[in-house]
């Protein structure tokens, strides 16, 4: 699964730390999600999407 979190985060001038605080996780969690090393829960994906003003589908590219 690829992610657009880094791209969208930079669009809104948010650091990983700032995004992490907004969604209630540690910065390392955002790092792992951006690298594709961690699949977030649906609740976390929703919180990130909301913080980045997009949808869950807009955050992730699902590969077959």
Global pTM value: 0.91
Residues in the chain: 64
Walk me through the domains of the chain, giving residue ranges and CATH numbers: 2-59 (1.10.260.40)
**CA 37 → CA 2, 12, 13, 32, 52, distances in Å?**
10, 23, 23, 5, 20
The pair of three-digit structure tokens given for residue 14, joined into one six-digit string: 């948010």
State pLDDT tens for residues 1-40: 789 999 999 999 999 999 999 999 999 999 999 999 999 9
């Amino acid at each position: 699964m690829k992610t657009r979190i880094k791209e969208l985060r930079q669009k809104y001038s948010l650091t990983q730390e700032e995004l992490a605080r907004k969604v209630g996780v540690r910065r390392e969690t955002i790092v792992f999600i951006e690298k594709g090393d961690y699949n977030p829960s649906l609740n976390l994906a929703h919180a990130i999407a909301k913080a980045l003003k997009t949808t869950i589908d807009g955050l992730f590219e699902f590969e077959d």
